[in-house]
Structure 1
Amino acid sequence: MQYKASIIIPTYNRPVDLKNCIRSILDQTVLPYELIVIDDGNLSELPLKAECEQAGIKYVYFKKDKPGLTASRNKGIELVTGDIVFFFDDDVVLFPDYIEQILNIYNMSEDVGGVGGAIANHKRLNLVKKIRKILEIPFMVSGVREGRVLPSGFCTSFGTTPFEIKKVTEVDFLSGGVSSFKKEVFNTFKFDAKHFLNYGMGEDKDFSYRVSKAYKLIYTPHARLYHYEAPQMRPNGYREVFMFVVFTHYFFKTHVKKSPVEWLFFFYAFWGYLLSRILVCIFAPKKHNVNKLRGLLGGFYDVIVRGTKTVE
């Protein structure tokens, strides 16, 4: 089948990064049918609009009044007219055959609802992080199979272990900025803008894991891109780990927990995560690592004592 690819790019005040991303889209071996730019900031001009239209790519621009990644993705979905919907962060640069490799997977099976690619420039694990991962595996904080959800509610994210996926593999979830879905998926599923208001910590796992219950999700290491993550767009160490704990608790309660006994898995994993963070602070007592430990304790207090219901 000849699928028409639509691309959604939420963007926030990074015109140079966005231009580099779109240029890599123009260099694809298979061009998309349309490009949808959702502006959460203030773009002064639309990067490479004329070049896209000259190449036959429909260029759609939408300016949002209130920033928010999750809401931007849902707005993009409302505007989509293609068959396969790609989500990219505005700071990625695609390898020339990225879209072609993804569409090849959809052509292999009608049961596939979502396909994700690989980030080629993941940071390698240093010695401290490798020791952490070894400790976290028996505590069910992490596993040896990336893209899997553990009984504890913790997830083994892509690029976070020494065990890189090297072949096309069915997975439990996909990473938001490196994912694609059949348009029909959105007839049933939407990103949860209620629980993920301002920052998309885990909203991609929440959405794609729900989709995985109805469709196959596939990860292919053959579709690759670079992610040039801007440091200023990331939360500080405290906020990052705080949100991670809040999200993991929410994800566990919403998708994994089936009986009261399973709370033991969650708390067992949490204490393992706490232990690993304490060891990091002992062997690498930097302010950043101490702030992450504080964020972990703050997140635990928030979800257990205050009963937080919204990831903000």
Structure 2
Amino acid sequence: MKIFRTSWYLLKDLLKDILHALPFVPYRKPSKRRKVWNRVRERRFLRRIDAIYLAHRDSVDAIEVSIVMPAYNRAFCIHKPIAGVLNQHHTNWELLIVDDGSTDGLASLIADKYNDGRIRYFPTEHLGVSHARNHGLERARGKYIFYLDTDNAWYPSYLRTMIVFMDYGGLDACYAGARIINDGNETIGYFGERFVWAQCWELNHIDINSFGHRKDVVGKGFRFDESLNRLVDWDFILALTANHRTAYAPFLGVEYYDGEKGSRITFTRYEGERVEELKAQIQNKHREMLNLPNTSARQLRPSWREALRHGEMANKG
């Protein structure tokens, strides 16, 4: 029975790729959350990533990445995400903690607790999460940039897996899956959908904590929109991925907190805003990109197999 179940998952995964490659065949509408996680696909993906890493260990380890962490009065919970960064298998990173005008002693806590030259602390005025992230972006030095909010955490293999996938797959951006937990650390669902830009435009299903991109993409003028009060991550991801090669990495890299303790940084100041109106505003802003030709879409939004196949061909060349 176990062999049959595994074979069925493999066949179903293959059929998805075949159908998605055909023109005018709609991809399954994504959901905000999944109830179950495809462990078979994850294992297959990670085996490929591990093989690539072992073959190119020195070059991968030499890649510096930047992590932008905005924080506003988060002294009570910032230890867990920082610990997740410190425990990463990939150690060539810089963590840019951008303090959005905290009044809870966050500055002294960082100075006293973390004596690590890779951690850089930047105090700013209280101007919101978008300004804080942009402040970090402008000072980032790594080849790739990642984002981590103070109520979430990464699993140890996250950075290395994402770096190998982007660097070897010739990607400009990618995102991983996430395990969603509540206050009791119980799993209540998962984030993780294959990337189709039009579906992302319809439903915000990519979390910024599981998203990374090349730094040189930011050099083209991409920033978080400081005029938006909510949904800033969605707006940024839609803008950046519209014309850049992006793919989904089907592994669990992030522990995403969805409980009641404290307020998430993106919601702290703007809980009363009418989200539906803002959603329509963002969709209108990016609507013209829905007409992107199908051939270009296949090049810009490959499956993970296509991305790694691209890397294999480039490596042979």
Q: Which residue, 44, 47, 69 being the options, matches 2:110?
A: 47
CA shift in 2, pair 1:107/1:193, >3 Å = closer
Match of 1:203 among 220, 232, 257: 232
Q: 1:16 aligns with which of 76, 95, 101?
A: 76
Asked if the contact 1:84/1:183 (under 8 Å) is kept, the reply is yes
Q: Are 1:217 and 2:271 an aligned pair? A: no
Q: 1:49: how far off?
A: 6.9
Q: Secondary structure at the match of 1:121?
A: strand
Match of 1:107 in 2: 167
SS in 2 for 1:3: coil
The alpha-carbon deviation at position 90 of structure 1 amounts to: 1.0
Alignment match, 1:86: 146
In the TM superposition, residue 60 of structure 1 has moved relative to its aligned partner by 1.2
Amino acid at match of 1:204: D
TM-score by length of 1: 0.60
Task: Give identity over the alignment, percent.
Answer: 18
> How many equivalent pairs are there?
216
Looking at structure 2, the residues matched to 4 and 30 of structure 1 have their Cα atoms a distance apart, in angstroms, of 9
Q: Residue deviations 1:222-266, cap 9 Å, x none?
A: 241212246331559x947722x122211221111589xxxxxxx
CA distance in structure 2 between the partners assigned to 1:145 and 1:81 by the alignment: 30
Equivalent in the alignment of 2:278: 247
Pair 36,152 (structure 1): closer, same or farther in 2 beyond 3 Å = closer
Moved over 6 A (4+): none
CA distance in 2, matches of 1:108, 1:5: 15
1:214 and 1:152 map into 2 onto residues whose CA distance is 14
Task: Give SS of 1:225's match.
Answer: strand
Superposed, 1:262-277 pairs within 5 Å as none
Aligned partners of 1:148 and 1:155 also within 8 Å: no
The 5 Å alignment of 1:67-216 reads 67-110=127-170, 112-121=171-180, 124=188, 147-150=195-198, 154-155=202-203, 157=205, 174-196=206-228, 199=229, 201-216=230-245
Contact 2:201 2:238 (C-alpha < 8 Å) held by counterparts: no
8 Å contact 2:177–2:251 — kept in the other structure? yes
Which residue matches 1:170? Answer: none
Quick check: 1:6–1:84 contact (8 Å CA) kept in 2? yes
How far did 1:202 drift? 1.9
Q: 1:258 to 1:67 in 2, by over 3 A?
A: closer
Q: 1:45 to 1:221 in 2, by over 3 A?
A: farther
Residues in 1 aligned to 2:200 and 2:237: alpha-carbon distance in whole angstroms: 18
Using the TM superposition, give the Cα deviation of residue 47 of structure 1 relative to its aligned residue in structure 2, in angstroms: 3.3
CA contact (8 A) 1:17 1:91 kept: yes
- Aligned residues of 1:4 and 1:33 also touching (Cα < 8 A): yes
Contact 1:7 1:32 (C-alpha < 8 Å) held by counterparts: no
The answer for the alignment partner of 2:263 in structure 1 is 233
CA deviations on 1:51-95 (whole Å, 9 max, x unpaired) are 562xxx522111111231111111001111111111011111211
Match of 1:298 in 2: none
Identify unmatched segments of 5+ residues in structure 2: 1-58, 182-186, 291-317
CA separation of 1:114 and 1:59: change in aligned 2, threshold 3 A: same
Is 2:279 aligned against 1:256? no
User: Following TM superposition, by how much is the alpha carbon of 1:46 offset from its aligned partner in structure 2, in angstroms?
Assistant: 4.0
TM-score (norm. length: structure 2):
0.60
1:280 match: none
Separation (CA, whole Å) in 2 of partners of 1:151 and 1:3: 32
Alignment of 1:19-34 (within 5 A): 19-34=79-94
The 3-state SS of whatever aligns with 1:89 is coil
Task: Verify the 8 A CA contact 1:97 1:223 in the aligned structure 2.
Answer: no
Gaps of 5+ in 1: 126-143, 158-173, 260-312
* Cα distance change, pair 153–113 in 1 and its aligned pair in 2 (3 A): closer
One-letter identity of the residue aligned with 1:119: A
- The residue identity in structure 1 corresponding to 2:245 is K
